[in-house]
Amino acid sequence: MTFEIFFQTLASGILMGLIYALVAIGLTLIFGVMDIVNFAHGEFLMLGMYSSFWLFSLYALDPLLTLPLTALMLFSFGVLLYRLLIVRIINAPMLSQIFTTFGIMILLRGVAQFLWKPDFRTIENSAVSGSIKLLGLQLGEPQLVAGLGAVLITSAVYFFLNRTRLGAALEATASDKEAARLMGIDSHKMFSLAWGIGAACAGAAGALLATFFPIFPDVGANFILMAFVVVNLGGFGSVTGAFWAGILVGVIQVMGGLLLGPQYKTAVVLVIFLGVLMFRPQGLMGKA
Amino acid sequence: MSLLEVRGVSKRFGGLLANEDVSFTLEAGQIVGLIGPNGAGKTTLFNCIAGFFAPSAGSICLEGREIGGLPPEACARAGVARTFQIARTFTSMSACENVMTAAMLRQRHVPAARALAMQWLAFVGLAHFSEKPSGSMTIGEQRRLAVARALATGPRIVLMDEVMAGLNPSEVREAVDVVLKIREQGIACLIVEHVLEGIMPIADKIVVLDRGCKIAEGTPQAVSNDPAVIDAYLGTE
Amino acid sequence: MSAMNKFWFPAGSLLVALVLPLVVHNVSWLNLAILVLMAAQAGVAWNIVGGYAGQVSLGHAAFYGLGAYTSTLLLLKLGINPWLGVLAAGLLAAALSTAFGWSCFRLKGHYFAMATIAVAELVQIFFNEWDFGGAAVGLSVPMDRTGWLWMNFASKLPYYWLALGLLVLTLGVNWWIERSYLGYYLRAIKDEPDAARSIGIPIARYKQIALCISAFFSAAGGSLYAQKELYIDPNSVLSTALSIKMALVSILGGVGTLFGPVLGALMLTSIEEFTRILFGGTGRGTDTIIYAALIIFVAVFYPLGIVGWWRARKERADWARVAREAS
């Protein structure tokens, strides 16, 4: 293995990892605020991808241009999902919570398959395509832009959570719902917000991915598993944790693939995941 | 040899020292009250004795046997039963089934466990509620059920965590009666309480904690006149 | 449930099940019945650890598939009789489940569910790459030796009896557990693990016992599947869809109830067939949508499943009646 291949792989791992991070941030936010694991999170990504695809195919609008629109649509969808379904299972037994979001996952995949058929779609010749040479490495332009986009959006979310009043309210609800309520913060609104932002993040990740990744109804499946791992490694509820863990998982995945063969790259991540679950369930960066 | 000997128990959570060098004893058939302002470390100490936490230092001996650091199920088998602040009854079961499950520690045979369970339900005055789904019971009823459940394990000591909280005066009296009946059975009680009118009249001894340390130990009379205790309560209340 | 119902309902169902193949001669209907029986059996096996003990596993296909592969590989490579193969498969799955339980049972709720998904994925990846086990191509069970000795038949009818027999056996074990102290302990662990520990229940040990039994019967079901379909591959016996289905039949019918999974299997298979007939196998996912809507509906409004909901309602009504009569 040459230096070049090593760094090439590392770079691609980091870039993909940034996407994982963006998806995971949404997931960790939802869990942090209301203690619910959203098994349907990958489907927000899938819907984001399809949104970009159709806006591109029907109206020739570039995915990067329509990203804000996609994010906004997914935000609304996330809030809608919360108001219609999730609100009813906040205090339900865990089995119900798991199966409700699981059911939503299957439902969305089924609907996507029904509306848009199981065919694989791609976006060709958008504003970003081809590859560029950066620091001696050959990097795909879409991947590079996607990575940058992910960093930007993550920073925006971080800024929102830590520097705005609304974000502070969200964090307060996450750490102590009752105390927050006593301070006049409406949990219901915070939960809606968490779902909205969570869905928007995943949707934005989808929009970024759509420029180079195939689009099909079950595409969420790969990403939800990675998102779980990232959230767990980074510590449930921690946005910064999700960011760094995302990059780490992306790198581990491609490195594992490089060392053991591409068919094992997911297996490597899963083994690490199980290891962390068993020996450090609070994650690499979480508190015990 | 005392029934329960707590010697120099400390419990640390990271940087926080919840219990610091707490020592006291409990004799067979005694009722000992554990009181103190909020955050004094009473429930932490409880959890150490019942096996939910392992003490960071010190020892806890039951009839001379070290139980500090043993898991909860082992403590239960050794003879330490407990109730929780939230009753935590098994909501998918009826009252009788709740107590039966506890009785099965000593009696695996289901019909025999049921007979035992009915006895303890009668003891706490819930016999007529035996088939009631425990999820439909009132807080007071669930508390009593939790006590019956704890008793069914055939313990030497029952640890009760704020059994009288939120009860009206007549309910407090009923709870006191149950505690006295338990003592008659020869079972010792260690009771964490905020409802002082409930515990002070019946306790043989009171141990007072404040900010993790024991600040007084003695008869209810002595303790209520202790300036350090008055200070601790007035300081926060 | 009154004593009458407790006897007549299962007895009646068993009678129907015994008589069915004598009355129904249509092969595809018979096959459908076998599918219901097998789905029910897999569900009952899951229910032991998922419904009764409350450890929600979303990766149970790992045991099912392990069972299918074990008995099939023993047959293909060592010529071992499938009857022994089923037993070996069950025991192996139970043994391996201890490794899983030891490492994962300390995980709570969602974390445990995620761990099960990860483990099942890993098992699927493993079998996908394992050339000795057929890799992605899968394994075929030969038809050279047939008859009851080799659990291999040309017609569907004997498989019906096998499936029914395995279901009855699994239900029987489940029934015995429910009535014994083990049943009480598992329910306690599910309801309030800390309170269970406080009354002397070593929860890790009993969760493991439930898992071992569950794994055994899941694997047995997988072995039967292999013998019936005569072909297995990672996609058919190790998929996430299968894991979901194993849990789903109990969710629908009633977690922690004896006949819940049976009812759930009946419902689910009916829905699958119904939508397939109505909307055709266009691959458009219509049955999936109905499936999913049903899952959500039940999870949100009837978390106890149909049987569970019915039973809880009855208990409250019974109690209300007793309370009225007493006053």
Residue-range domains of chain B with CATH: 1-79+156-237 (3.40.50.300), 83-154 (no CATH)
| Structure tokens given for C88 | 């070996």
Q: Could you tell me which of C198, C250, C59, C224 has the C-alpha nearest to residue C141?
A: C224
Interface test with C, best of B43, B49, B70, B73 (most C CBs within 10 A): B73
| Dihedrals phi, psi of B7, to nearest 5 degrees | -125, 115
Would you list the DSSP string of A73-94? Answer: HHHHHHHHHHHHTGGGGTTS-H
> Interhelix angle for A63-84 vs A41-59, to 10°?
140
Token readout for B55 is: 């003490």
Partners for C (CB, 8 Å, 3+ pairs)?
A, B
- The token duo for B197 is 């009118």
Average pLDDT over residues B81-93: 92
Q: Is C217 left (phi over 0), alpha (psi -120 to 50) or beta?
A: alpha
C254 in a structural domain? no
| ipTM score over 0.90, yes or no | yes
Amino acid, single-letter form, for residue C317: A
Beta bridge partners of C314: none
C21 inside domain = yes
User: Chain B window 66-125: which residues touch C at a Cβ cutoff of 8 Å?
Assistant: 71-73, 76-77, 81-82, 84, 88-94, 97, 100-102, 104-105, 108, 110, 113
| A contact residues 47-106, partner C, Cβ 8 Å cutoff | 85, 88-89, 92-100, 102-106
Q: Is residue C129 part of a domain?
A: yes
Q: What does the pLDDT look like over A186-235, one tens digit per residue?
A: 888 999 999 999 999 999 999 999 999 999 999 998 899 899 889 988 88
* Residue A163 CB-half CA count within 13 A: 6
Quick check: is C317 in a domain?
no
- Separation of first and last alpha carbons in chain A: 39
Instruction: Give the span between the Cα atoms of C225 and C67, in whole angstroms.
Output: 9
Structural domain contains residue C14? yes
- With respect to residue C247, please indicate whether it lies within any of the assigned structural domains: no
Residue pair A253/A13 in contact (Cβ under 8 Å)? The answer is: yes
Query: Residue B113: CB partners within 8 Å, gap ≥ 6?
Result: B100, B101, B103, B104, B107, C181
Q: Does A232 touch chain C (CB under 8 A)?
A: yes
Count how many domains chain C has.
1
CA C136 to chain centre: 24
Is A282 in CB contact (< 8 Å) with chain C?
no
User: Quick one: DSSP state of residue A261?
Assistant: -
pLDDT in tens, C102-150: 888 888 777 888 889 889 999 999 999 998 988 889 999 888 888 888 8
Amino acid at A85: L
Q: Which amino acid is at A257?
A: G
What's the rounded mean pLDDT across residues B180-188? 93
Contact at CB, A263 and C255, closer than 8 angstroms:
no
Tell me if C163 is assigned to some domain.
Answer: yes
Subunit contact B88:C197, Cβ cutoff 8 A:
no
Residue in chain B lying closest to C178 (CA)? B110
Nearest to A209 by CA among A141, A120, A254, A143: A143
Contact B153 C200 (CB under 8 A): yes
Q: Tell me the C-alpha distance between B97 and B94, whole Å.
A: 5
**Tokens of residue C282, six digits:** 């266009």
| A182 CA: distance to closest CA in chain C (Å) | 28
Residue B31 above 70 pLDDT? yes
Q: Which of A85, A110, A270 sits opposite C121 (nearest CB)?
A: A270
Of B22, B2, B35, give the one whose Cα is nearest residue B223: B35
Determine the structural domain holding residue C65 and report its residue range: 9-239
* C167-193: average pLDDT: 95
Q: Which residue of C has its CA nearest to A114?
A: C284
Query: Has residue C253 been placed in a domain?
Result: no
- Structure confidence at residue A288 (pLDDT): 42
CA separation (Å) from B101 to B95, B152, C50, C210?
Answer: 10, 9, 20, 17
Distance CA A239, CA A22 (A): 9
Instruction: Please state the φ and ψ torsions of residue C154, each to the nearest 5 degrees.
Output: -80, -40
Residue A209 pLDDT: 93
Q: Which residues of A touch C293 (CB under 8 A)?
A: 103, 107
Q: Which residue has the tokens 């709740």?
A: B98
**Exposed (0-12), middle (13-18) or buried (19+): which is C76, by Cβ within 10 Å?**
middle
How many other β-carbons are positioned within 10 Å of the β-carbon of residue C6? 11
pLDDT of B194 reads 83
Whether the pLDDT of residue A281 is over 70: the answer is no
Across the interface, of B93, B132, B149, the residue whose CB is closest to C199 is B149
Q: CB–CB of C110 and A37 under 8 A?
A: yes
Which ranges of B9-109 does DSSP label H, i.e. alpha helix? Answer: 42-50, 72-78, 95-103
B230, pLDDT greater than 90 = no
Give the CA dihedral C260, C262, C267, C270, nearest 10 degrees: 180
A26-64 residue pLDDT tens:
999 998 888 888 999 999 999 999 999 999 999 988 888
* Length of chain B, in residues: 237
Dist CA A188 CA A177 (whole Å): 10
